[in-house]
Amino acid sequence: MARRELGRVLVTGAAGFVGAALVEYLRLINVSVNAADLRADDAGNLVVCDLVDGDAVVALVAGSAPDTIIHCGAVSGPMVMADRPLDIWRINALGTAHVLEAAHRQGVGRTIVCSTSEVYGSRNDGMVDEETRPEPDNVYGASKLAAEQAVIGYRREHGLDAAAIRLSWIYGPGRRTPTELERILKNGMNARRTTLGGRPDDVTHYLFRDDVVRCLICAATAPTLEWAVYNLTAGRGERLAGVVDAIRSELPDLEVEFGGTEPATRGPIGFDQTLTAHSLGFRPETDFRTGVRRTLDALRLKLDAV
């Protein structure tokens, strides 16, 4: 498909897991990027902006004059700040509304918002698509759903060219937030047994970081955004037992036991990506075993550098 030009790009949450990888890739392909985050970095490459401060966000967008905004700034998962629900709401819902309002005022050509598959919750099962009714289980999912509704409102009332991408469980090199997958990998590298709280039949929805980066760029360059929300995951979910087997193919001595005593967790078995493929022109490319191998390589390099 013919692609829209990115022009100047503003990335929020640019010090985060996805945002940092996105900025690095955009600069690699010689795209002009302004990178913003809550705090400065040591190299002075980040513009400091608190998304909860509406005036600061308006000033950021006006000062950078972007043609495209990719909004990665957010609380990164339900395990983060779970004891601070109001702050989650302010950052994810209000912060996104501030970005959309600034994009509207500045006349930004395209705004892409990172959302989450957590909006579907555990009450939905089977394969779900973008028309499945969201049923979030927690404040994190609800705050992301509110952010999506803000996207829809600005699209319909103000004609803002914007969409939200529902991302599943992102993994890969550079993730700093502790995750169950990283715990398994690190324990396996150090010949330590891992006891998982889940059951072998629990369904997982892993998505490699580089696929996220490529999809966000495809969304930002698609000729039109026919829908306000799009699913992105690696496809049909993998049972936890299958995830462990895939890791064991890279770490043969891996020792894992399943400690879950409750029935397998409910929820979707996968997320339909027909709209993402047809409208955005993107399909994930990284299978789980390849992603695990690349993640392990990065972890080993990090250990060697210490």
Supply the DSSP symbol for 161: -
What pLDDT shows up at residue 256?
Answer: 95
What pLDDT shows up at residue 150?
Answer: 98
What pLDDT shows up at residue 306?
Answer: 52
Q: Indicate if the pLDDT at residue 44 is higher than 90.
A: no
By three-state DSSP, how is residue 173 classified? coil
Supply the DSSP symbol for 133: P
What pLDDT shows up at residue 305?
Answer: 64
Supply the DSSP symbol for 117: G
Other Cβ atoms closer than 10 A to 177: 13
| Cα–Cα distance measured from residue 148 to residue 105, given in angstroms and rounded to the nearest whole number | 19
| Cα–Cα distance measured from residue 137 to residue 35, given in angstroms and rounded to the nearest whole number | 32
Q: Model confidence over 57-111: pLDDT tens digits?
A: 999 999 999 999 999 999 988 889 999 999 999 999 999 999 999 999 999 999 9
Mean pLDDT of the 121-140 span: 95
- Label the pairing between strands 238-239 and 203-204: antiparallel
What pLDDT shows up at residue 41?
Answer: 84
What pLDDT shows up at residue 123?
Answer: 92
The whole-angstrom distance between residue 211's C-alpha and the CA centroid of its chain comes to 10
| Cα–Cα distance measured from residue 227 to residue 170, given in angstroms and rounded to the nearest whole number | 23
What pLDDT shows up at residue 234?
Answer: 80
Average pLDDT, the chain: 94
Enter the pTM of the model. 0.95
What pLDDT shows up at residue 266?
Answer: 81
Any residues with CB less than 8 A from the CB of 245 and at least 6 apart, and which? none
Q: Model confidence over 263-278: pLDDT tens digits?
A: 667 899 999 999 999 9
Mean pLDDT of the 188-197 span: 93
Mean pLDDT of the 175-194 span: 91
Mean pLDDT of the 171-177 span: 89
